[in-house]
Chains A and B, each alone.
Chain A
Amino acid sequence: MSPRTAILDGIRRSLKRGALPPCEYDRLNRRLAAPDTAVVPVRSGGTHAEKVERFAAMVVEMQASLDRVASAPAVISAVAAILAAFGLPPSVVAAPALEDAPWAGSGLTVRFGAATAADPVSVTPALCGVAETGTLVLLSGPESPTTLNFLPDLHIAVVAASAIVGSYEEAWARVRARGALSRTVNWITGPSRTADIEQTLLLGAHGPRRLHVILVDDRQPGA
């Protein structure tokens, strides 16, 4: 008997039943096809403007830094400004998804692609931001390699205000709307940390020492 058969048989024996009938499988598959939302914290609700404000507040509470800019072109100057503020050389590796941004004239040297251990700063887009905990949702793909999120010391993530949602479930709805899952979906909430030595909290364990979020206010006035 294969281990697979033995384990499945063992489960059924313990549950004192045989394999489920097809109608039961159908019922379970319907549950999978229409994921429900059990309990959503009140703090994830409110108007969209309230969600954006909560997201911004939570990002800072989770020890990331935050910049709010009024338009997409302003993102690049915000990147240049933060590098200067941290005393870093004006050079970044960026997600290919950001190739169309107005890098020219910013004074920044930019390479598009995956990160290497030699890259101190990365810039990536986030699919969305979750107000509930100030969490960024990033998808892997040729346009946004995963190594950018973890190898550099400073990770700069760009998220549009229109892409702020309240709850994790709303974020999953956005991810599902894009079709099959990418290899990796990263939820990122603040910079890397550890408390493994004497329960002392230290930032910058193995991932980025700093997480900087640029929130782009792309909403129409009055929206």
Chain B
Amino acid sequence: MHPRSRAFRANAAKALVDPGLQAALGKLKAGFRIKRAAAVARLPEFEALRDAGKAIKDHTLAHLDAYLETFETRAIAAGGQVHWARDATEARAAVLAICRAAGARTVTKGKSMVAEEIGLNEHLEANGLTPVETDLGEYIIQLRHEGPSHIVVPAIHLDRHAVADAFRAAHRERAPERDLSEPRAMLDEAREELRRHFLAADVGITGANFLIAETGSTAIVTNEGNGDLTQTLPRVHIVVAGIEKVVPTLNDAAVLIRLLARSATGQEVSVYTTFSTGPRRREDLDGPEEFHVVLLDNGRSAMLGGPFQDMLRCIRCAACINHCPVYGTVGGHAYGWVYPGPMGAVLTPAQVGLAEGRELVEASTLCGRCEQVCPMRIPLPAMLRHWRERAFERHLVPTRQHWGLMVWGFAARRPWLYHTAMRTAAWGLAWLARGSGGLRTLPGIGGWTASRDLPAPAGRTFRDQWTQRLRR
């Protein structure tokens, strides 16, 4: 996947006038937000679990090198193989090499945002392999040759008609006049189609929600069961995971699991939580003969020890995305990278550069709802402000905006000047708007007044009025 985050404004403008997308986004409010609130209300310990989860991740990140070494040692002791990748190129190469060594042709995949991050499918296809996404949402967007618009429900931007069209175009051996009006019929069709792939695949690739140092295990959390068929039936199981996914123990994973599904979909727990340790044992009747873990850095280690370290606590539940008024208005594709919404706006500049991702850090009102719902208590608004500061320091913001901020900063540090300027502006704007209550146009802020009036100020600043009241 190639970043298209520079085009955020144009993408957002298109999204606003896309009725299908707007209808789909409207369902978020009635769906995940209400379900999450209900699940949280049912668990009195939720706030205590958030604190415990944060403490586990903070401890792990402070000792990340040691826990990764322990994870590696124990994964190898269980018969697994561990591969380290500094960036997307190395991770893709590692996966391809394993597939080649296995003589693989068909590869099934569980949903993995890290695989999206490294552009794995394109790379495998370019090298003669056929990767098949098996999560229903990922399967749909693969058929449509597009990226995910959400990290938990990747096809959330589509309605049933779009899915039916994709199925008719892809499953050509089926009767063209078949009834695909209901989601049930589409799910049954996908189930049949994907069964074939599950049974034929040579390699199965999954992500990981957790890497467990205690046992060298990887863990995935799914509802469909596709991840389990992906990792159980083929001869080779490859896990691709970011280095920040490690936690010390199985008990630590339990704390995070209590937070994950409730924050994501409002479920008490996902249907399938699966811990995998090494390949099949000698006496086992099923399971993969090889077990590989590809550990990906891709900018993560550089986030440690600075203002963005807290982001590495993220467990990818998407609560911030589901509650973001900006995401809820423009959807995920507008962000132009794998990770949308508040967490995406923080991660994207770290992964593809601030020059590419700058628009995303501006695309927030800093309302703070994301931080309120984040199970890991990640201070997302504060991190967006950090990125904005950096963008300003590096002269990445447009010249006029840069100088505007300079002037504002100069005045804001001198209260008498600031107050005089505000007093003048309040009086001047009120005079300009006299009688009409608002300004239709104003030179210099055409971007604002093009779509709305600027309400007229009262003529005197709040401070002036307050001072006068005190004197009375």
Residues of A near any B CB (own CB < 8 A): 2-4, 6-8, 10-12, 14-16, 19-20, 24-25, 28-29, 31-32, 35-43, 58, 61-62, 113-115, 117, 133, 135, 140-142, 145-147, 149-151, 167-169, 172, 175-176, 180-200, 202, 204-208
Residue ID in chain B nearest A176 by CB atoms: B250
Given contacts A3-B86, A7-B295, A142-B283, contact A188 B232 (CB under 8 A): no
Contact present for A207 and B224 (CB under 8 Å): yes
Q: How far is the CA of A39 from the CA of B375 in the complex (A)?
A: 14
Given contacts A8-B65, A181-B215, contact A186 B85 (CB under 8 A): no
- Chain B residues with Cβ below 8 Å from A28 are 63, 66-67, 70, 248
23 chain-A/chain-B pairs, Cβ below 8 angstroms: A7-B86, A14-B305, A38-B49, A113-B285, A114-B285, A117-B195, A140-B280, A140-B287, A141-B283, A149-B228, A150-B229, A182-B277, A185-B217, A188-B271, A194-B223, A195-B223, A195-B265, A196-B153, A197-B140, A202-B183, A202-B184, A207-B224, A207-B229
**In this complex, which of B254, B265, B278 has the most chain A Cβ atoms within 10 angstroms of its Cβ?**
B254
- Chain B residues with Cβ below 8 Å from A146 are 228, 232, 286-287
Q: How far is the CA of A46 from the CA of B107 in the complex (A)?
A: 47
In the complex, B405 has a CB within 8 A of chain A: no
In the complex, B24 has a CB within 8 A of chain A: yes
Within the complex, what minimum Cβ distance (angstroms) separates B442 from chain A?
A: 43
Contact present for A39 and B281 (CB under 8 Å): no
Contact present for A172 and B286 (CB under 8 Å): no
Contact present for A197 and B155 (CB under 8 Å): yes
Within the complex, what minimum Cβ distance (angstroms) separates A170 from chain B?
A: 10
In the complex, B156 has a CB within 8 A of chain A: yes
Contact present for A183 and B284 (CB under 8 Å): yes
- Chain B residues with Cβ below 8 Å from A25 are 66
Given contacts A183-B278, A193-B223, contact A172 B254 (CB under 8 A): yes
Residue ID in chain B nearest A167 by CB atoms: B254
Query: Which of these, A36, A147, A193, A195, contacts B251 with CB under 8 Å?
Result: A36
Given contacts A39-B52, A168-B254, A197-B155, contact A142 B229 (CB under 8 A): no
**In this complex, which of A19, A145, A169, A198 has the most chain B Cβ atoms within 10 angstroms of its Cβ?**
A198
Q: How far is the CA of A24 from the CA of B285 in the complex (A)?
A: 41
Q: How far is the CA of A58 from the CA of B56 in the complex (A)?
A: 28
Q: How far is the CA of A216 from the CA of B334 in the complex (A)?
A: 53
Q: How far is the CA of A34 from the CA of B180 in the complex (A)?
A: 54
In the complex, B346 has a CB within 8 A of chain A: no
**Number of A-B residue pairs having CB atoms within 8 Å of each other in the complex:** 263
Q: How far is the CA of A73 from the CA of B22 in the complex (A)?
A: 57
Residue ID in chain B nearest A19 by CB atoms: B65
Interface residues on B, range: 35 or more
- Chain B residues with Cβ below 8 Å from A24 are 63, 66
Contact present for B268 and A186 (CB under 8 Å): no
Q: How far is the CA of A206 from the CA of B189 in the complex (A)?
A: 11
Q: Which B127-162 residues have C-beta < 8 A from chain A?
A: 134-137, 140, 153-156, 158-160
Within the complex, what minimum Cβ distance (angstroms) separates A218 from chain B?
A: 26
- Chain A residues with Cβ below 8 Å from B64 are 11, 15
- Chain A residues with Cβ below 8 Å from B463 are none
Proximity string of chain B (263-286) to chain A, C-beta cutoff 8 Å, 1 when within and 0 when not: 001001111111111111101111
Within the complex, what minimum Cβ distance (angstroms) separates A155 from chain B?
A: 10
Proximity string of chain B (183-213) to chain A, C-beta cutoff 8 Å, 1 when within and 0 when not: 1101100010011001100000000000001
Within the complex, what minimum Cβ distance (angstroms) separates B376 from chain A?
A: 14
Contact present for A42 and B225 (CB under 8 Å): no
Contact present for A41 and B258 (CB under 8 Å): yes
Contact present for B271 and A207 (CB under 8 Å): yes
- Chain B residues with Cβ below 8 Å from A145 are 284-287
Query: Which of these, A14, A42, A151, A198, contacts B160 with CB under 8 Å?
Result: A198
